Amino acid sequence: MLRVRCLRGGSRGAEAAHYIGSRLRGAFTGWVQRTFQSTQAAAASQNTCAADDKAASPAPKDCPVCSYNEWDPLEEVIVGRAENACVPPFSVEVKANTYEKYWGFYQKFGGQGFPKDHLKKAIAEIEEMCNILKGEGVIVKRPDPIDWSVKYKTPDFESTGMYGAMPRDILLVVGNEIIEAPMAWRARFFEYRAYRRLIKDYFNSGAKWTTAPKPTMADELYDQNYPIHSVEDRHKLAAQGKFVTTEFEPCFDAADFIRAGRDIFVQRSQVTNYMGIEWMRRHLAPDYRVHIISFKDPNPMHIDATFNIIGPGLVLSNPDRPCHQIELFKKAGWTVIQPPVPLIPDDHPLWMSSKWLSMNVLMLDEKRVMVDANETSIQKMFEKLGISTVKVNIRHANSLGGGFHCWTCDIRRRGTLQSYLG
């Protein structure tokens, strides 16, 4: 909703401005959606394998950055840090992405550190995860520790930071290019600073480095009156395609995208808008095809605990959040697997996520997966698929909002660019 701070003409002038602004906003949002849909339709009407006709430039052999999908043999990875992690202030975009039972936690501790004992255990778990990755032959890099409690102010807002725990949220590797996502939470505005040393090193070694347009995160980016009071409200709003982020400017989190060679899938979510998706589509064209998919999800934020591609033509699809376009994958010959119900106890705090982090796994290659040591049901599922499990306990790290896929960003996988959708 367009917000009118000061306008000549009194209440009638304000009402007129509000009316005009809402009409313009509606027209603009519709334009964005129509533009994206028409560009997808135009691409589809041509040769669907047009991207294959023009091969993408191969990554230089000595470039340390090269990854096209989620399952090729993993050689180098960034693993996040829980050190100094802070609870984000309870702003409208945080409220829209968190569950009601934790709102009191955010109101009480926003801007302060997460509970010290819990954080200490999370840090120890991630250190052990790094050691296990190294034991599996993977090079591990870490972001810089930063004091996230420092207050900052821009011309449009003020906030404290959050953490450098989830590199998957902010970094997307496509081929030999690292794309820095603009993000959508004000508490994550300066999160890129934790990764800049690493990215500069990769750039100096031959990688491409792109930073998406940085949003102002002004009030207009958010529906300040986003009406959520219950789970029912969330379902209703999601069904109507209404989100807390508007189309005021591009925004997206990298974790709303998931890669399968030339095809990259994305969802419109609470943190990723159509303008952000369209920016990515234009940026990656013509070598890559960006497809919007959607789910029956009352609180869409990050795709990888809903739809996680774990191999060529093999995807984990959350049974609680069915994909509306699942026939697209079945017609292409993909195997769609519904993972078992998570085993995480009801009393375990999950301040920023759901229990479905059990399916937020990290593939070390097509036949090895890093999975939670406590989730025996999904371990058995992988074993039946002929995939060996590397078991790690990150229960306390889960509380900060991520599983193995979230806590990592694969920098280099040994493989080539291919098409898997037909």
The C-alpha R_g of the chain, in whole angstroms, comes to 21
Q: Is 406 a catalytic residue?
A: yes
Angle made by CA atoms 412, 413, 415, in degrees to the nearest 5: 130
Tokens of 292: 């919007």
Write out the DSSP string of 284-309.
HTTTSEEEE--BS-SS---GGGTEEE
- State the residue for tokens 């009316």: 19
Does the active-site annotation cover 130?
no
What b/e sequence results for 140-169 when a residue is b if at least 16 CB atoms lie within 10 Å of its CB, and e otherwise? bbbbeebebeeeeeeeebebbbbbbbbbbb
Report d(CA 211, CA 178) in Å as an integer: 8
253 is catalytic: yes
Which residue out of 302, 304, 365, 405 is catalytically annotated? 302
Q: How many helices (H) and strands (E) does the chain have?
A: 12, 17
In the set 66, 323, 406, 409, the catalytic residue is 406
- Non-local CB neighbours of 76 within 8 Å, separated by 6+ positions: 64, 138, 139, 140, 141, 410, 411, 412
Q: What is the DSSP string of 19-67?
A: HHHHHHHHHHHHHHHHHHHHHHHHHHHS-TTHHHHSPPPPPPTT-S-BB
Q: How many beta carbons lie within 10 A of that of residue 224, not counting itself?
A: 14
- State in Å, rounded, how far the first CA of the chain is from the last one: 41
Q: What beta strand segments (E) does 231-379 contain?
A: 257-260, 263-266, 289-292, 307-311, 314-317, 335-337, 362-365, 368-372
Spatial neighbors of 323 by CB under 8 A, at least 6 apart, are 293, 294, 295, 306, 307, 317, 329
Name the catalytic one among 253, 365, 372, 410.
253
Catalytic positions: 253, 302, 406
